[in-house]
Structure 1
Amino acid sequence: MLSDSQIERYSRQIILPQVGGKGQEKLLRARVLVNGSGPLQTAALFYLAAAGVGTLGVLANTPPSVFSALVADQEEATSRVLTRLNPDCTVVVHTGADAIRPAHLVQQYDLVLSAPDPLHDACYAARRPFICAQVASSEAWLFVCRGYEPDQPCLHCLSVQLGQSGESTAFTEVAALFLGTLQTTEALKSILGLHQTSRGKLLRCQFPALHFSASLVKKDPGCSLCGQPLP
C-alpha cells in the first residue's frame, strides 16, 4: 500500500495506465543490479532511483565520478546521493570481490543492467533478464537478453560484430547518457510486465548522424549456452 507521501511523489507515474498504483508498488519492491561506474550506469542509476525502484545494487570498483564529486566519502558516495534523490530507494554497494561469485550475486536481484561481461551467463542460469548496453566510440547498442526462455536468444546468439569500448569522442558521453535512459526504460518495462519490451532485438544508434536501427536476433539452436533448455 502506497503512503500519502509516495502517492504525491510518484503521482506523474501513477496516472499512467501502464503503471498505476499496483505498478508503482511493483517498482518499490523491485531489486535491480547495475554493473559499472561510467556515465551510462550513472544515468541508469539516477533514473531508476527517481522512478522508485526499491533496491539498487551497484557493482563497481569505484563510485561513479559524479557521485564522488558530490560526496567526499567515496565509499558512501553512491548510496548517499541516490537516497537523497529518493529516500524510498535502498542502495547496496558491492565491491569487485562480489563479482567473483556472480551466480550468488545475481540471484539477489530481479534483473541486471550491464555491459557485456560474465554476469550474462550467471543471469541466464538464474533466469534473470540481462539488459546489456555499451557505447563504442560514436556507436551505442542495446540488447535485452532472456535466453532462458525457449524462443529468446542470449548474448552468445549474436552473429554481428559489436564494437568494444575504445577511444572517446565528442559524442561518447552524450551517447552513454542517451543509452542509459533506454536501458532504464527497458528495465522499468520488464519490472512492470509490459509486453512491448525490446527483448530479442538489437538496437543500435550511430552518433552524430542519429541513425537508429533495430534487428531481430533469433535463438541459435547450436548456441553453447542457450542451445539446450535449462533443467
Structure 2
Amino acid sequence: MRNLHIVIAAFLALIAMVAAASHTTSTTKTVAHKPKHSSTKKHTTTAHAKAKKTTTTKAKKTTTTVRPTSSKPTATPTSKPGKQGQAGVVLSQTAFCLWLPPVYGGDIAANEDRAVAFCTKPNMPGAANAGVLPAGFIQSAHFVTDTQKGYVQVTGRLNRSKYGLSAKDGGGQYDMRAPVGAICNGYKAFVQLTEPDAQIYCIRCCMNKADCPVNKSTYGCKKVLGGVY
C-alpha cells in the first residue's frame, strides 16, 4: 500500500514537471511610436515698392529793365513860382529837380518842412528860384514816363559826399505836403525819397494822386516806386 502511494506521488511529480516545462510566458513589447512633428516653413514675401520719379520744375525769373528814355512828360510845365524856390520839374533823364535840405550837410528827415528844389540845370522852365545840384551829386538817372496813368519818374544813384550828407542818414520823404508849398510843375502831386545811407534817390510826379503814394515813407525807394538804380 505504501508503495502505491509512492508511485502515485512520483507520477504526479512527473506530470507537474512536464506541465512546468511546457508552460511558456510570452512578453509583448509595446513600441511607442513618437509622432512625427511636421515643420511648417513660413514663406515671407517682400514687396518691393517702386520708387516714383519726381520731376521738379524750376521757375525762371524774368527781370525786365526799364531803359531811360527821352520822352516828354504828359503835362507841360508852367512857370508857377511856388514858395522859396520850392517849385521843381521832371522833364527828362538829364533835366529834372530834387528837393534837398537848404543847408549843406543837412539831415533829410529833419528838413521835411524846409527843403528846397535843386535842378540838374540852371534856370529850368517851371522851376523858378531853384538851385543847381552840385557837380557829381547825380551818379545815374533812369527816366520813365507812363502816358496811360499820366506820371513821370526818375530813379538812380547819388554821391552823398557832394552835398555833405551823412552815411548814417536813413533819409526821408518829400511830397506836396512837406516841404510847405512844394510843387512839381504840370502835375497834381509828387513824391520823392532820398536815402543818403544807400546813396539812392527816386522822384515821381503824377496827374492822379493815387499813383504817388505818400503813406509809405519808411519803405524806401525800391518798394515805393520801383525803378532802376
**Normalization by structure 2: what TM-score?**
0.22
After TM superposition, the score normalised by the length of structure 1 is 0.21
Asked which structure has the greater CA Rg, the reply is 2
